Amino acid sequence: MGEVRKLQKKLRQIENLEIKISLTPEERVKISRKAELRSRLAELQLQLSGPQQTQGIVGDEKKEKMKRQVEDAPGAPPSQTPPASKILKGEEESKAQATPAPAARQRQTHEETEMGRQKERTEPAKVSDHSRDKSGACPDLDKEQQLQQEERKFTSLKASWEKSKFRLRLLEGHNDIVTCVAAVDNLVISGSRDTTVKVWHVPTAAEHKNLGGHTGGVTCLSAPPPEYCKRLAWSLSLFDKERFILSGSADCYVKIWALSIGQCVKSIYTFNAVTALCFVPEDDGYIITGSDGGKVQAWSWDTFENCQSINAHEEAVTSIQSQGPLVFSGSADGGVSVWENRCLNRDPLRLLHHWSGQVTGCRGGRLTLSPRGDRVILAFGQAWLKILHWRTGTTSRLTNHSSITGVTDCVHQTGGLLIGSCYDLANGDSMLNLFSLPQCQYLASLTWPEAPRILCLAAWMTGSGDHRWVTGGCSLIVWEQLPTSGKQRGDIIVKRDSRLVSCVLESEEDTEDDDETDEYKDDEDDTNQPGDGQSDGRMEDGGSGSWLRCVLQ
């Protein structure tokens, strides 16, 4: 058991080393051992499997609740929840025994019809006596009908996703890891560790522009809305319909690019490596940036001057998102801050709430976030997603992988769909898990042979209502949804993980086991190597928390 956990730890470190900005010779040697370690882990898991549970996958008793989520769900005690195979078998036996002869079936049908009529005559009076309120409504009945309607809607949605088809298009041009992606009209914009920003034409999957100008790895992108682009275009004497993209880099610059001409029209020096940014479309507009030192800064869209600098987090800011007048920032230390934009020329951001990593349970990992109403969905490199109710500080957990060797790098919401990336450190399998919102019910998983690890994701809907996504990491891929009725075959495999089907959104009573897989001490030959992260929590993820994030529109 101890060796299994140690191998999982080493594989996690190796995967995080691979996405660092730069590597030392010692770190390259570690990466070269990945195949060997995976083979050894698979061998140990095979030995531990059999009549007993594979503890190398599931973990100790603290991890058992991940396998008992159905049993822990309200109204489903363990003793009353038989396995699915037994349910199906019991149903088949009961149907075989209860099949009447034709004459008997007619009499039975007649008796059931009469009973149904009597029930219809008696039940309304019963409901009116006990369930009607003063206005004559039936709240219990309305609630039940609403639940039935939601269940039918979910069943239909699940069936449609099980039949979904996507065409994948590989966009080739970057010579290093793609760290961030965004979408503008029919264009996809990608930023890479190779210091470039590239613009791609989606219908043709062709490179449209190569925007070179940064001297450090590009870490984040953001696209201002058209009305704010129009104002800037007018001030620069450019075409009214010009679109712009913002890019942040480890070289401490935020650059503003005009997409049609492929030129940088403005550079902002921030004095710190930029690790996250977003555009806030309120009042005159603001650019909000986060740095590797935990600083959050606001910049005027009109003057591009600094309006505010706040030492908001103890470690690197890994994600910044806006929702109306609210701004959400997440840090590598697991902290989440909620800010209100007061639309002032000076100090526009006012802190509303701050929740530490002890509250969120997201300590020791790169944090990406996606706000939705009073909830913020957090991904932090574990086998589950966290949901923070930011007004109260309460959290819940949604399983995103059936094994604790799985990691979640990014999360995104589009319409009523929640998309979470999923990568298995043990075998290299990668996929996207889909959940319906707001209940967060599991729909399906999408993957394809030799799928790469997905580090960033953007999703949007076309004018015809189809989904279009772009994922980045070792490969940059555009996903185009195809009509299910068409004859064209899709490139992805749709499956449903039975171990995720039964998962429910569970409240967090304690989170002491969230980072348990990273607690033990590594081998002596590893603890003193650069980038291992044994002495510095910020380096736990190979230093990637200071520059890598997912852009979520």
Checking if the pLDDT of 118 tops 70, the result is no
The two tokens of residue 145 are 């009908």
Q: Return the HEC string of 31-42.
A: HCCHHHHHHHHH
What angle (nearest 5°) sits at the alpha carbon of residue 180, between those of residues 175 and 185? 105
d(CA 467, CA 490): 14
pLDDT band at residue 166 under the 50/70/90 scheme? very high
pTM of the model as a whole: 0.74
Per-residue pLDDT, 23: 67
3-state helix, strand, coil in the chain (%, to 5): 30, 35, 40
Mean pLDDT, rounded, for 473-492: 91
Mean pLDDT, rounded, for 24-35: 80
What is the four-CA torsion angle of 205, 544, 385, 455, rounded to 10 degrees?
10
Does residue 122 form part of some domain? no
Checking if the pLDDT of 542 tops 80, the result is no
Q: What are phi and psi of 85, to 5 degrees?
A: -65, -40
pLDDT band at residue 5 under the 50/70/90 scheme? confident
By the 10 Å C-beta count (0-12 exposed, 13-18 middle, 19+ buried), 433 is classed as buried
Which of 226, 182, 221 shows the shortest CA–CA distance to 202?
A: 182
The structural domain count of the chain equals 1
For 214-244, write each residue's pLDDT tens digit.
Answer: 999 999 999 999 999 999 999 999 999 999 9
Cβ atoms of 66 and 58 closer than 8 Å: yes
pLDDT band at residue 48 under the 50/70/90 scheme? confident
d(CA 286, CA 221): 14
For 81-104, write each residue's pLDDT tens digit.
Answer: 333 333 334 444 444 444 444 444
d(CA 290, CA 169): 32
Does residue 62 form part of some domain? yes
d(CA 29, CA 24): 9
Does residue 57 form part of some domain? yes
For 416-438, write each residue's pLDDT tens digit.
Answer: 899 999 999 888 899 999 999 98
Residue type, position 198, single letter? K
pLDDT band at residue 22 under the 50/70/90 scheme? low
Does residue 103 form part of some domain? no
Does residue 50 form part of some domain? yes
Per-residue pLDDT, 89: 40
Per-residue pLDDT, 19: 66
Checking if the pLDDT of 297 tops 90, the result is yes
Expressed as residue numbers, the domain containing 20 is 2-72
Residue type, position 273, single letter? A
Per-residue pLDDT, 394: 94
Q: What are phi and psi of 296, to 5 degrees?
A: -115, 130
Residues 6+ apart with CB under 8 A from 35: none
Q: Which segments of 250-325 are extended strands (E)? A: 253-258, 263-269, 274-280, 286-291, 295-300, 306-311, 317-323
Mean pLDDT, rounded, for 67-77: 40
Cβ atoms of 400 and 367 closer than 8 Å: no
* Angle, helices 2-17/34-48, rounded to nearest 10 degrees: 150
Does residue 22 form part of some domain? yes
Does residue 123 form part of some domain? no
Place of tokens 């679109």: 243
Which of 124-138, 307-321, 466-480 is the least confident region? 124-138
How far is residue 475 from each of residues 14, 169, 223, measured CA to CA in Å?
18, 10, 22
CB atoms within 10 A of CB 76: 14
Beta bridge partners of 290: 276, 296
d(CA 342, CA 512): 37
How far is residue 406 from each of residues 11, 54, 113, 380, measured CA to CA in Å?
11, 15, 53, 11
Checking if the pLDDT of 112 tops 80, the result is no
Checking if the pLDDT of 163 tops 60, the result is yes
- Region of residue 476 (phi > 0: left; psi between -120 and 50: alpha; otherwise: beta): beta
Does residue 527 form part of some domain? no
How far is residue 335 from each of residues 126, 224, 380, measured CA to CA in Å?
53, 26, 11
Cα 198–chain centre separation? 24
**Could you tell me what percent of the chain has a pLDDT over 90?**
51
